[in-house]
């Protein structure tokens, strides 16, 4: 049996190990209050003993919070060493707390999700010059020449030229040559030859011939 003493204030019997009365809160020794913490000399009593106290819940809760804070700081520092800051997702970290019986809580800190991987930018494929053979050059020079009607559309990242060539049936009959400060377009139809100079020095992104219309896409560098 534990030795008991009598509270000087309320007269209740309390165990010797307590430096205050659990019934009225009176402290038996004022020195303990300043030198030994919340519960005096027995500030580090077991959780089982503390639960028995009618007024001990606050002390138990404060002790648990203190332990969790220390454990969290230690775990966070350890994770920061293992995980480089630039590889952690910006969304933050995940914190999990688990307990086993009467043991101390375990805290695990980990970054949320996987590090984002940046994909390399895909470069625009350069289209080879489509120029006439000697035979086609001769055919082009023999036909009546005409400048085709052109419609121009400008988008956020490209300029589209729509060039009307009604009697041109194949892309092989179209010549697209990138000059120093312009783009030269020639085409051979059944009865006419078409020629146009586009005074723009932009990369050729794509082109196609469909139903007598040549569509030429030029890239805009933003």
Write the pLDDT tens digit of every residue in 135-152: 988 999 999 999 999 999
Q: Which two tokens stand for residue 155?
A: 């988008």
In angstroms, how far is CA 17 from the centroid of its own chain?
56
pLDDT score, position 75: 72
What are the residue boundaries of the structural domains of the chain, listed by start?
A: 1-55, 134-219
DSSP code, position 36: S
How far is the C-alpha of 38 from the C-alpha of 57, rounded, in Å? 12
Closest listed residue to residue 93, CA positions, set 102, 101, 83: 83
pLDDT score, position 11: 82
Write phi, then psi, for 41 (nearest 5 degrees).
-70, -25
Three-state SS string over 128-194 comes to CCECCCHHHHHHHHHCEEECCCEEEEECCCEEEEEEECCCCCCHHHEEEEECCCCEEEEEECCCEEE
Q: Which of 2-16, 26-40, 113-127 has the lowest mean pLDDT?
A: 113-127
Per-residue pLDDT, averaged over 119-142, amounts to 66
Is it the case that residue 193 has pLDDT exceeding 90? yes
pLDDT, greater one: 14 or 118 = 14
pLDDT, greater one: 37 or 196 = 196
Per-residue pLDDT, averaged over 116-124, amounts to 47
pLDDT score, position 19: 76
Q: Which two tokens stand for residue 132?
A: 């006439």
Domain covering 134-219 assigned CATH 1.10.150.120 in the classification: no
pLDDT score, position 22: 72
207 beta partners = 216
Angle at 158 between CA 155 and CA 159, to 5 degrees: 80
Q: Which two tokens stand for residue 128?
A: 């080879």
Note the pLDDT tens digit of each residue in 144-185.
999 999 999 999 899 999 999 998 988 889 999 888 899 999
Q: Which two tokens stand for residue 191?
A: 């009865």
Q: Which of 47-61, 103-117, 163-177, 208-222 has the lowest mean pLDDT?
A: 47-61
DSSP code, position 118: P
pLDDT score, position 185: 93
In three-state secondary structure terms, 17 is coil
Residue 203 exposure: Cα atoms within 13 Å on the Cβ side = 12
In three-state secondary structure terms, 31 is helix
């Amino acid at each position: 049996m534990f030795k008991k003493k009598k509270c000087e204030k309320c007269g209740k019997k309390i165990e010797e190990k307590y430096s205050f009365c659990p019934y009225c809160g009176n402290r038996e020794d004022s020195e303990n209050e300043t030198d030994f913490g919340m519960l005096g000399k027995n500030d580090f009593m077991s959780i089982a003993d503390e639960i028995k106290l009618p007024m001990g819940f606050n002390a138990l809760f404060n002790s648990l919070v203190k332990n969790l804070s220390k454990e969290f700081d230690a775990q966070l520092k350890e994770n920061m060493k293992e995980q480089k800051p630039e590889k952690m997702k910006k969304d933050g970290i995940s914190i999990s707390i688990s307990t086993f019986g009467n043991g101390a809580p375990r805290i695990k800190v980990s970054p949320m999700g996987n590090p984002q991987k940046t994909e390399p930018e895909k470069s625009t494929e350069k289209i080879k010059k489509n120029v006439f053979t000697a035979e086609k050059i001769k055919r082009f020079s023999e036909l009546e020449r005409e400048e085709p009607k052109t419609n121009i559309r400008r988008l956020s990242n490209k300029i589209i030229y729509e060039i009307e060539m009604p009697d041109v049936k194949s892309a092989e009959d179209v010549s697209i040559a990138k000059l120093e400060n312009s783009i030269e377009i020639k085409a051979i139809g059944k009865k006419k030859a078409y020629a146009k100079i586009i005074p723009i020095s932009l990369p050729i992104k794509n082109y196609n011939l469909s139903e007598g219309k040549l569509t030429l896409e030029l890239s805009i560098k933003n």
